[in-house]
């Protein structure tokens, strides 16, 4: 179980680091120079200029990565960690209602990913006005 947690953490953190790096590349250097010319400290520049732009531009990628992480937890069941799919298999073995349990599992995964997708779309529209 610890191995699975460490593996998923390292895997996801590598993607998140790449998302943040690509978001940082989208910052217009002129905005940073403008903040410096207005007397902003480095911390103020990061807080008021860099972070809002990076988060706004990379938020859809963050949410997509976390949706992918939810889906990847199914792969963890191969190494023995009980997650939604494995729990469904255990319940279906006990109740002998395979079809109903698997439909419930399918609907649960769909709802989780659908909600994340809608959240990504909402946040993308909300922060789409920020121009880099």
pTM for the whole structure: 0.59
Question: Is residue 132 a part of any domain in this protein?
Answer: no
pLDDT digits (tens, 9 = 90+) for 88-102: 888 888 998 889 988
Question: Is residue 70 a part of any domain in this protein?
Answer: yes
The candidate with the shortest Cα–Cα distance to 114, out of 70, 61, 73, 76, is 70
**What sign for the dihedral angle of Cα 69, 70, 73, 74?**
negative
Question: Is residue 31 a part of any domain in this protein?
Answer: yes
Question: Domain range for residue 113?
Answer: 2-127
Please state, in angstroms and rounded to a whole number, the distance separating the CA atoms of residues 60 and 121.
7
For 61, residues 6+ apart whose C-beta sits below 8 A from its C-beta are 19, 22, 23
For residues 70 and 113, is the Cβ–Cβ distance under 8 A?
Answer: yes
Torsions phi, psi of 41, nearest 5? -75, 170
Mean predicted lDDT score pLDDT of the chain: 83
Question: Is residue 123 a part of any domain in this protein?
Answer: yes
Question: Is residue 98 a part of any domain in this protein?
Answer: yes
pLDDT digits (tens, 9 = 90+) for 32-64: 899 999 999 999 999 998 888 888 888 888 888
How many CA atoms lie less than 13 Å away from 83 in the CB half-sphere? 19
Residue 67 maps to which CATH number?
A: 1.10.3720.10
| pLDDT computed for residue 18 by the predictor | 92
- The domain tally of the chain equals 1
Question: Over 13-77, what HEC string results?
Answer: HHHHHHHHHHHHHCCCHHHHHHHHHCCCCHHHHHHHHHHHHHHHHHHHHHHHHHHHHHHHHHHHH
């Amino acid at each position: 179980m610890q191995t699975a947690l460490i593996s998923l953490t390292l895997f996801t953190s590598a993607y998140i680091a790449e998302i943040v790096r690509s978001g940082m590349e989208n910052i217009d250097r002129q905005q940073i120079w403008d903040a410096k010319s207005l007397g902003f400290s480095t911390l103020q520049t990061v807080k008021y200029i860099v972070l809002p732009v990076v988060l706004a531009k990379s938020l859809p990628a963050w949410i997509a990565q976390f949706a992918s992480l939810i889906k990847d937890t199914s792969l963890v069941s191969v190494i023995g960690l009980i997650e939604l799919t494995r729990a469904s298999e255990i319940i279906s073995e006990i109740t002998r209602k395979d079809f109903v349990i698997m439909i419930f599992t399918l609907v649960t995964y769909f709802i989780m990913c659908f909600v994340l997708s809608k959240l990504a779309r909402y946040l993308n529209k909300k922060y789409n006005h920020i121009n880099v």
